[in-house]
């Protein structure tokens, strides 16, 4: 059973009862997952083409990333306007559920000295944010192509109306929160 089927058949009803929500449409759900990979330091320090990182992120997310450029120059950081800064991918629907299932069951257990993820990383809109230090922990990334490991920020956008609702949703999906 896929994570989406499990959510629709089991988790929705469990959340409805545990959070004491009367209307099934008010049960928190996942809207999207956003993957961000910083490429500016990779370009600046290694003087490399970022297409390798772009290909890696496309393999991880199963879709092509978009490049985000700097909007203004900052001389102290040697950053010029319209320099590539970020690679971004937004996942929705089946791709989102497949990525989260892969992240929870395969990728996070592969992290060396994994000590769970923080349960307090919710922002003011009750979305969950966390950081992965090495993008090479994903099985899709060919290890021969990795010149320098790049970090990746993962944002899970939910429809939760409180921190407790968001935490309960992600906990029921299987996110490995610290106790």
Is residue 102 predicted with pLDDT exceeding 80? yes
Lowest mean pLDDT of 34-38, 74-78, 128-132, name the range: 74-78
pLDDT, average across residues 95-119:
82
Nearest to 65 by CA among 80, 50, 75, 82: 50
SS3 85: strand
CB 111 within 8 A of CB 138: no
**pLDDT > 70: percent of the chain:** 87
pLDDT, average across residues 98-105:
90
pTM score above 0.75: yes
What pLDDT, on the 0 to 100 scale, is given for residue 105? 86
What pLDDT, on the 0 to 100 scale, is given for residue 113? 67
What pLDDT, on the 0 to 100 scale, is given for residue 53? 81
**pLDDT > 90: percent of the chain:** 21
Residue-wise pLDDT for 14-41, tens only, equals 999 998 888 889 899 999 999 998 776 6
Distance CA 23, CA 17 (A): 11
Most confident among 18-32, 48-62, 65-79 (mean pLDDT): 18-32
What pLDDT, on the 0 to 100 scale, is given for residue 96? 93
Q: What is the homologous superfamily of the domain 30-173 according to CATH?
A: Ribosomal protein L5 (3.30.1440.10)
CB 88 within 8 A of CB 34: yes
């Amino acid at each position: 059973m896929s994570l989406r089927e499990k959510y629709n058949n089991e988790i929705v009803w469990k959340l409805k009862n545990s959070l004491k929500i009367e209307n099934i449409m008010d049960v928190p759900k996942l809207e999207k997952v956003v993957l961000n990979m910083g490429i500016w330091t990779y370009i600046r320090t290694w003087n490399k083409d970022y297409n390798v990182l772009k290909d890696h992120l496309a393999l991880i997310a199963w879709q092509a990333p978009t490049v985000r450029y700097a909007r203004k120059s900052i001389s102290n950081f040697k950053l010029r306007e319209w320099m590539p800064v970020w690679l971004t991918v937004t996942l929705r629907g089946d791709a989102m559920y497949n990525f989260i299932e892969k992240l929870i069951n395969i990728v996070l257990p592969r992290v060396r000295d994994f000590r769970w993820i923080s349960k307090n990383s919710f922002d003011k809109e009750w979305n969950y944010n966390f950081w992965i230090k090495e993008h090479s922990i994903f099985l899709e990334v060919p290890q021969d192509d990795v010149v320098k490991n790049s970090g990746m920020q993962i944002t899970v956008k939910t429809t939760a109306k409180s921190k407790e609702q968001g935490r309960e949703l992600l906990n029921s999906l299987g996110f490995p929160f610290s106790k």
